[in-house]
Amino acid sequence: MSLYIALILGGLALAFYRKNKPDPKVEFLRPEEPIEEVQIPLAVNLKNLTKSRLYLKLKELADPALELMGDGAWIKIGLFLMLVFTASSYLNQKWLMLNPVLLPVAVTLAALVWGWNLMLRRRRARFEVEFPDALNIMMSAITAGDSITQSIIYVGKTLDNDIGLEFKHVGEHLKLGEPPEQVFNRSCKRFPYPAYLFFVVTIRANMSRGGQLKQVMAKLIRVLVDSRAMEKKKMALTSEARLSAKIVAALPLAFLGIMHWLNPDDLQFVLFHPDGRWILFYVLGSETLGLAIIWLLVRGIR
């Protein structure tokens, strides 16, 4: 009996021993525990030396328009906003008689957004004109036997415009040994256009794995030229409709000006009488809605 009890106790002890003993396979595959880093206090708070993300985001949005406006951009923007605010305040005080603060501020903000959007459209139009030339020059340099970095630098030295300056910066940073991914990511933020993004993807793939870069760039140039020709064709086909819409939109405002000279009493009724002001608001609202619809229709043409 005692022998059976000893065997049972020995089996239980052996089972607990095997359970507590670590498996060599598990120990080998187990990841190492991270070592706690000792936080060393710094004499300078680095967070105070870095700018807020909101400021950097606003700076990224404003930089393209500021670069296009050239020297004295902030002075030009200030004069433009001052002129818009003064004109809207005068028109509101003389004709509309709405909120003397809210309306001029709203018009000024709308003019700021419109001007910024206009600058971005002009910058993109200039990019679409200059970028195919840069690709042609780069493809010629690659055909002559230059490397990708040398061809990018050659484009920067040849072209004297925004694209040439960007290629020059990219080539210099690549020549200094900066990682290509970091250089091209920073460049894509300055030119966030599909054609440039596709170009960057092609260059990075060729630098890492190789490939027929010349054929790909030739196809990209052809696509850009065809897209530019299609855009011009679209604007030519819709020019008559857009001009007609602008003339129709200007007719009510022209009639209001004619009424001011021929029959000022009717104009006073439209501008200042409570019942007549509904006519004025209807004219302004219908004008805005009609122009917005026409703009959306033209933008929707593919």
pLDDT of 241 reads: 79
Residue 257's pLDDT is: 81
Name the nearest CA neighbour of 143 among 156, 154, 132.
154
- The confidence score (pLDDT) of residue 46 equals 44
Q: How far apart are CA 107 and CA 102, in angstroms?
A: 9
pLDDT digits (tens, 9 = 90+) for 111-150: 999 999 999 889 998 998 899 999 999 999 988 888 899 9
Closest CA to 200 of 227, 225, 180: 180
- Provide long-range contacts, Cβ within 8 A and 24+ apart, for 64-70: 64/119, 64/120, 64/123, 64/190, 65/115, 65/116, 65/119, 65/120, 65/123, 67/123, 67/162, 68/119, 68/122, 68/123, 68/126, 69/119
Distance (Å, whole) CA 156 – CA 165: 6
Give CA–CA dist 302/299, Å, rounded: 8
- Nearest Cα residue to 137 out of 172, 173, 163: 163
**3-state DSSP helix/strand/coil percent for the chain, to nearest 5?**
80, 0, 20
Residue pair 189/60 in contact (Cβ under 8 Å)? The answer is yes
Query: Would you state the pLDDT for residue 149?
Result: 92
Please report the pLDDT score of residue 164 as a whole number: 93
Check: CB of residue 64 under 8 Å from CB of residue 120.
yes
Give the chain's residues under pLDDT 70.
1-52, 301-302
The three-state secondary structure class of 7 is helix
Long-range contacts of residues 53-56, Cβ cutoff 8 Å, at least 24 apart: none
Work out the number of other CB atoms within 10 angstroms of the CB of residue 89.
17
8 Å CB contact between 115 and 68: no
CA distance readout (Å), 270 to 103, 278, 293:
19, 8, 26
